[in-house]
Amino acid sequence: MRGILAVDAQLKTELQRQGIFATTLQELYNWGRKNSLWPLNFGLACCAIEMIASTMARYDLARFGAEVFRPSPRQADLMIVAGTVTKKMAPQVVRLYNQMPEPKYVIAMGACAISGGPFKQGYNVLKGMDRFIPVDVYIPGCPPRPEALIDALMTLQKKIDAQTLTGENQPRCVDASAPSEFLVPRFGAHDLEPPQNPTVWHPPLVQITTAQPAATVPPTHSTAGAHES
Amino acid sequence: MSPERSPNMGVEAVQAALAAAVPGCTVEIIANPSPAAQHSLLIDAEHAVAIAEFLRDDAALRLDYCSNVTGVDWPAKEGGGFLEVVYHLYSMEKKHGPLVLRLRTQDRSAPAHLPSLTPVWRSAELQEREIFDLFGIHFDGHPDLRRLLMWEGFVGHPMRRDYVEPDDYEYEPTAHDAVLQKAQQHQRGVGQ
């Protein structure tokens, strides 16, 4: 159920047949936003190639109103974090996100942007973009195919469509108490400072349990990650 | 100097030419026992630039292209050890190569010093910066020696064998082997 429409859906359809269009401000607002998502022209690694492919004629992201890749964060609604975010790059990504006007959304594209991917245990790659900025849609894959990016965009459109102007599910820009700027990490001696933004991300409660002492258990069976949050 | 001398005919010929052309230099052949048999030349740091200029300018060798520079860390078991820089040289003009040059530092102190070969081969510039960044070898005579991959203010050199990475194993949902140990170590550390 979305929108507070005084007329029921059946009556609305009947009215449309008679040439009368009944709608709500919220519906118009969401319709406008979801069909003109302008992404930031911003690629970090191999996922960017798939992002470029999805905008070209074969996959044609323009069908969903997201063809206008903006070269400036001031004109963009959507940040597609396409690729590996190194710790050296992370402050710039957060700064670009802060410079985007509300309402704004983030798609984390590919294994690296989600969690660090194959570089997770390295010394120089951020273990997921969601440690510093709120991510709306995650696409797994290495790299995800253009169809996956289109699916993520459609998921985001559904999410926008379900948002309400008032109440719990309102977009962040309408909520006065929500933060408008996010912490830009500084470079420390060994890692970013802080290594994650505690207001955005905290480690999920994972208990690493082993049935027997770790030395006697084969490594493939020794992990049982139980999500408790 | 026979005009048909090339690194493909064996490093011994190059070693002999260097001994004649650069007085006082020490050039040692490091044999590669594998079937590739790509032997390399260990040159001394003091004469490295003179040797490099000879290899580049000699009419028979003309090694005008440095395709790759890389670093190697050789720690000794009982402390000490050394750092090594490896240069791969080709000739675009003569269409031969590679000739592999090695340079070794005295010890693994930071910063260890070696002469830069960027004034001889411009293509070594960024790769020497990377080695400076990741191994902590200071290249004397490099035009712009700054960190390349890590940021200014980063402490340590990550490609050294004794580098200790930051403990950020707070969330490892599919940990196994070494990562599992580190994640458990992290949890124990947090629990105390």
Q: B20-35: per-residue pLDDT in tens? A: 998 888 999 999 899 9
Query: Taking 80 as the threshold, does the pLDDT of residue B4 lie above it?
Result: no
Tokens of A114: 């989600």
Residues of B in contact with A191 (CB under 8 A): 166, 168
Task: Tell me what percent of the residues of chain B surpass a pLDDT of 90.
Answer: 50
Q: How many angstroms separate the CA atoms of B93 and B1, rounded?
A: 18
Query: Which of A86, A124, A197 is best to mutate for the B interface (most B CBs within 10 A)?
Result: A124
Q: How many angstroms separate the CA atoms of B183 and B67, rounded?
A: 40
Residue B185 — very low, low, confident or very high, per pLDDT cuts 50/70/90? confident
Query: Taking 70 as the threshold, does the pLDDT of residue A209 lie above it?
Result: no
- pLDDT, residue A80, reads 93
Inter-chain touch A187–B153, beta carbons under 8 Å: yes
Residues of A in contact with B175 (CB under 8 A): 208, 223, 225
CB A25: neighbour CB atoms within 10 A? Answer: 10
Residue A223 — very low, low, confident or very high, per pLDDT cuts 50/70/90? very low
Cα-based distances in Å from B48 to A204, A217, B10, B138: 54, 53, 20, 15
Inter-chain touch B173–A222, beta carbons under 8 Å: no
Inter-chain touch B168–A195, beta carbons under 8 Å: yes
Mean pLDDT (whole number) for B80-86: 91
Instruction: Kindly state whether A195 is in contact with chain B, defined as any CB-CB distance less than 8 angstroms.
Output: yes
Which of A37-46, A64-73, A186-195, B3-12 is predicted with the least confidence, judged by mean pLDDT? B3-12
Residue in chain A closest to B180 (alpha carbons) equals: A223
Mean pLDDT (whole number) for B9-24: 87
Shortest Cα distance from B83 to chain A (angstroms)? Answer: 21
- pLDDT, residue B91, reads 92
Inter-chain touch A222–B176, beta carbons under 8 Å: yes
The answer to whether B143 touches B129, Cβ cutoff 8 Å, is no
Q: How far apart are the two ends of chain B, measured CA to CA in Å?
A: 71
Query: Taking 90 as the threshold, does the pLDDT of residue A212 lie above it?
Result: no
Tokens of A175: 């909520």
Shortest Cα distance from A180 to chain B (angstroms)? Answer: 27
Q: How many angstroms separate the CA atoms of A84 and A184, rounded?
A: 18
Instruction: Kindly state whether A218 is in contact with chain B, defined as any CB-CB distance less than 8 angstroms.
Output: no
Q: What is the overall mean pLDDT for chain A?
A: 84
- pLDDT, residue A229, reads 38
Q: How many angstroms separate the CA atoms of B175 and A53, rounded?
A: 34
Give the Cα-Cα-Cα angle A56, A61, A67 (nearest 5 degrees).
85
Q: Which helix (H) or strand (E) is A96 found in, with range?
A: helix A90-99
Q: How many angstroms separate the CA atoms of A24 and A9, rounded?
A: 12
Query: Taking 80 as the threshold, does the pLDDT of residue A192 lie above it?
Result: yes
